[in-house]
Amino acid sequence: MTENTQQQRKNPDGSDRGSTDALNKQGGAHRDPASRGRTTIADGVVEKIAGLAARDVVGVHAMGSGASRTLGAMRDRVPGGNSSKSAARGVKAEVGEVQAAIDLEIVVEYGESIGKVTRDVRKNVITAVERMAGLEVVEVNISVTDVKLPDEDDDDDDSDSRVQ
């Protein structure tokens, strides 16, 4: 090979083009996969995670205000209704690149300590979102919109249904 051909196969740092050393110096072969793109998490994803985590807490009867629960129950009964929306009912999330803030509306069972229930909900939501989404949860605001009394009928109860 001529000297000119050898120069054309060299990188500016003097290494051979295409060699493993050249790739390593440029970071191509051993770059962290996480640095090779960007992950975006939608607000709705965090809302579903938070909604399911909140429902898992003992003492939480339902999520959302009375109006949103009624509309959601009607939507769930309509064929082709979007039942995935029910997972995020009563949840609003604001998601940034590395942080999330979450607002919840819950209905607490009568007889349960509202303070204990809201502490447990906050802890469960923070743990679930941080573990699953990898986002730092900066705040979880909880609004208790109602208390479920033992003798109240559920809006979502199908016991009155004509067809079983």
Structural domain count of the chain: 2
Same domain for 15 and 85?
A: no
Interacting residues of 91 by C-beta distance below 8 A, sequence separation 6+: 47, 48, 50, 51, 54, 63, 102, 103, 104, 105
pTM of the model: 0.67
> Nearest-5° angle of CA 150, CA 153, CA 158?
130
Residue 13 — very low, low, confident or very high, per pLDDT cuts 50/70/90? low
Q: β-strands 136-148, 99-109: how paired?
A: parallel
Residue 147 pLDDT more than 80?
Answer: yes
Chain-centre distance for alpha carbon 94? 10
Instruction: Supply the range of the domain harboring residue 134.
Output: 43-148
Tokens 């000297």, residue located:
3
Over residues 121-131, the mean pLDDT reads 98
Same domain flag for 109 and 86 = yes
Determine which of 58-67, 86-95, 141-150 has the lowest per-residue pLDDT on average: 58-67
Instruction: Flag whether 156 is in a domain.
Output: no
Do residues 70 and 97 both lie within one domain? yes
- pLDDT score, position 35: 81
The mean of the pLDDT values for the chain is 80
Q: Judge whether 154 lies within some domain.
A: no
